[in-house]
Amino acid sequence: MTKAVFDSPNPERPQLARAMRRLERDVLRMGALVEQSFRLSHQALIARNLTAAEELPRLDKKIDRFYKQIELDCTAIMTLQAPTAQDLRSLSAIMQLVRDLERIGDYAKDLAEIAVKIFPYPPHPTLPEIAVMFHHAQAMLATSLVALADLDEVSGRSIKRLDDAVDNAYDRVYQTLAYQRDVPGVVEPIVLLALAIRCLERMADHATNIGQRVAYIVTGQRG
């Protein structure tokens, strides 16, 4: 059984406790939507599934609505509910955390747009390695969300180590794209793939941030 993300320690404040539980529910729902958007962006770019690409803008709007509502709810709790210091720490972290989730959703939508533009071209030889980047970054996001649901500080901090695999893959693919010689035809596919791996690298960074914010909620210590 998972622990509540924002379990107010004061049982005599039922209204605050309910507000925190609603916040927990919405954050985890938002996280599930972001995971879905990540999977769709993978299908769009790697599997060349344009139907998946078409679904991303609609999903991104849902993510944005959750983001705005959660920010409003956090602000309302801070100003109207007189939260404890521990609650304030959690609220502060969650406002930053949902921003990370929102940015991952934005990058997933960007990847879908890249997938549509690159679709007319033959699959590039670097796609298998880019698929590995997807795998690592998706695993990082999944781990960060499980850490959030379980309030698992150790898992939250461990994501930083997983980021190295994404960074290493980024460097390898970038070098391949940047120094490719005798490129037949137009260079647009190379430019698009360079943008795609940059999106993936940033998504992994935001997943790392989420893990670190989970650790801060639990311990009150940054870094």
pLDDT tens, per residue, the chain with 223 residues: 345 445 555 556 788 888 888 999 999 999 999 999 999 999 999 999 999 999 999 999 999 999 999 999 999 999 887 878 888 888 999 999 999 999 999 999 999 999 999 999 999 999 999 999 999 999 999 999 999 999 898 888 889 888 999 999 999 999 999 887 777 778 899 999 999 999 999 999 999 999 999 988 888 877 6
Closest to 133 in 3D by CA, of 162, 107, 99: 162
64 touches 127 (CB < 8 A): no
Distance CA 63, CA 60 (A): 5
Q: What is the pLDDT of residue 217?
A: 87
Quickly list H helices, the chain. 14-45, 50-80, 85-118, 127-150, 153-178, 188-219
% helix, strand, coil for the chain, step of 5 = 80, 0, 20
For 185, list phi and psi in degrees, rounded to 5: 75, -150
Distance CA 107, CA 205 (A): 12
Q: What is the pLDDT of residue 175?
A: 94
Q: What is the pLDDT of residue 15?
A: 84
Q: What is the pLDDT of residue 10?
A: 54
